[in-house]
Structure 1
Amino acid sequence: MSTMPARAAVPYFCQWESAHLAGEIIRKELDLADDPAWRDSGARHLEEYVRWASHVCGMACLKMVLAARTGHAYPTLELARRSIPYGAYVEEPDGGIKGLIYAPFVRYVADVFELQAQVRVDLPAAALPALMGQAEYFMASVHPWIRWPDREPPRKGGHLVLVTRATADTVTFHNPSGEPDTQADVELPLAEFDRFFAQRGVAIMPR
């Protein structure tokens, strides 16, 4: 039997500020420049929000962890900007953004937020229950089509979700880019989760 304390409920945050409009953003029925809540992201201007908002799934996961632990919701793009000196993201000359890069992210959250985090690779889905018996949360690399679990993804990885619980049968997670009905406390059979899971991510350990 686990001796870990019960986890507090984890607030949900979308990587786009208007979570209820996520489906329209995903389907490109709504341009990011028309997100009415963009200022809440911490972006210094609209162009910064448009450039970054589709790249900050990892920062949305971090925002959820910090909100669960401290009760404070940091603006998502503020978290992203603070991580850049550590190398968690690389801004490329052509305007592209590379990241989230795990090892620099681990250094960032340790230095700034005193979070103990560990990079995990070559982690089969079957090992998630054991991992979640030790970790408080797991930022798992999955294909973004996990928002549509009935589809077969073309590959694995490329997006981060925050796993809050795993058993021998199911995985429960918050998806920063889910459609409104696949955002918070999504529960999938372990075998279904495995179809999207790239066997890597970042474990956030208890205090």
Structure 2
Amino acid sequence: MAARAGAGPAVIPPYFGQWESADCIADIITGTLKAEEDPLWAASGARDAAEYAEWADHLCGVACLRMALGARGIAPPRAFDLARELTGRGGYVVRPDGSIRGLIYAPAATWLREAHGIAAEVRVDVPAEDIPSLLADRGMFIASVHPAVRRPETEPPARGGHLVLVFGTAEEKLRFHNPSGHDAASQTDARLAVDAFARFYAGRGIWLPG
């Protein structure tokens, strides 16, 4: 699938991390700071700090959806308000042992269509080199990657397990926001060559056509 010409300039979405304090993400990831100590946790809509700490590690998909809404000029709901809505639709599943499964793509895509009239499709078996064509005419792609994508010089142990919002290209590189980036450069408008991105990418995600 070749990229189409004339896609127009990318709209840079607002950035949302899966934790509320973007400047605390590195410390939360390393364990230097407990998630419940995030000074902005209450802005997430969580009932308490314990709920925030339990769920925030699973909210990369929620962050991507919020960023996608912002790129379309729609004020996004708070992170936990959206997580609860998606849980009611099957987008997250709390297992009997208390573990959390999700984001599940199909209910999230249905929510985008039904709640906001945004075309959204679950896509699988999409090679990394085909992603630029999905971004034509200001399309976006919520892509499954390994969380180590925040440090692209590393070799990931697997592919997938985390979601980022890919929203454009520049100089043959994919441009994306990463909800668990450890610093500003890896959070907002991160850029990776397609072949480098492919090392982390699981070949699936949610496409939002332009």
Q: Same fold (TM over 0.5)?
A: yes
Tell me which residue corresponds to 1:196: 200
SS in structure 2 opposite 1:106?
Answer: helix
Identity, % of aligned positions: 44
1:205 to 189, 205, 209: 209
1:100 to 100, 103, 113: 103
Please give the alpha-carbon distance, in whole angstroms, between the structure 1 residues aligned to 2:23 and 2:171: 32
Deviations, residues 105-145 of structure 1 (Å, cap 9, x unaligned)? 11122122222100111111111112222661100000000
1:184 to 183, 188, 206: 188
Tell me which residue corresponds to 1:111: 114
The answer to whether 1:131 aligns with 2:111 is no
SS in structure 2 opposite 1:55?
Answer: coil
Q: 1:19 to 1:188 in 2, by over 3 A?
A: same
Give 1:1-207 correspondences, 5 Å limit: 2-4=5-7, 6-133=9-136, 136-166=139-169, 169-180=172-183, 181-206=185-210
Please give the alpha-carbon distance, in whole angstroms, between the structure 1 residues aligned to 2:111 and 2:76: 17
Runs of 5+ unmatched residues, structure 1: none
SS in structure 1 opposite 2:163?
Answer: strand
Compute the RMSD of aligned alpha carbons: 1.6
Structure 1 moving runs of 4+ over 2 Å: 1-9, 166-169
Aligned residue identity for 1:204: L
What's the CA shift for 1:21? 0.8
Q: 1:71 to 1:111 in 2, by over 3 A?
A: closer
> What is the number of equivalent residue pairs in this alignment?
206
Give TM-score scaled by structure 2 length. 0.92
What's the CA shift for 1:3? 4.8
